[in-house]
Structure 1
Amino acid sequence: GLALSLVAGPAEQRRLDAIEAFLGQPLIRGPALPEARDLRALTPPNRTLLLLAGRRDKLRKGDVLGALVKDGGFPPEAIGRIDVLETTCAVAVSRAHAHAVLKFTQAARIKKARVKAHLLG
């Protein structure tokens, strides 16, 4: 088989030295990756909207999606996965629409009740 070890910079050099000492021979080293100056590529495309209502409040995924798409007028593509938990609900929202969805959710009603909302991340 083939075993690979990724070493992330000088902080992990001791780990690489320990592997070489254990094997008793020098390791084959590949080229180092260029430094990442622009980390925007690592930014996730969605943010999480946390609603402080859940199954205990008889909230369903369709209620949340309907409120955001029908009442809020947001495109369905802007809404991602919806997880309804016991007392909370997590909704993946595209970064472009995150703040608008938060403002709408704080002012609107879902199932005839005001729901507190927060953006995570």
Structure 2
Amino acid sequence: GHIALQRALRSVAKIEGVISLKVIVDHPLLQPVVFETMGIDEPLHLVLCQTTNRMLKRFASHELASADFSGGDATWQEVSTLDNALDSLEQNKTVKGRWQIFRDLFFNSQKIIR
């Protein structure tokens, strides 16, 4: 969870200007990522948690929140993001998707979460 959040923070940090960030996570990520980042729980991976906290300090302000995305009250942005993620997962199940993952292990290793 920390690695995925850090990748998202890096992509947002590339936007120019002052950024006030609101990170909304689904309930399964609440305890292992958000509670560790906020200092409520002891971090399982101290270095990953420290890196996430350091990356959050890049922004003018940040807010951490959670939501339940299983309900019908999701916004169109949330639904679109979840659809894109599910499409990517489905594509990775195909032979072509598995080949691309294998190729990325050697040529684009920075894109692979281990």
TM range (shorter): under 0.3
TM-score (norm 1): 0.22
Which structure has the bigger radius of gyration?
A: 1
Structure 1 or 2: more strand by fraction = 1
TM-score (norm 2): 0.23
Structure 1 or 2: more helix by fraction = 2
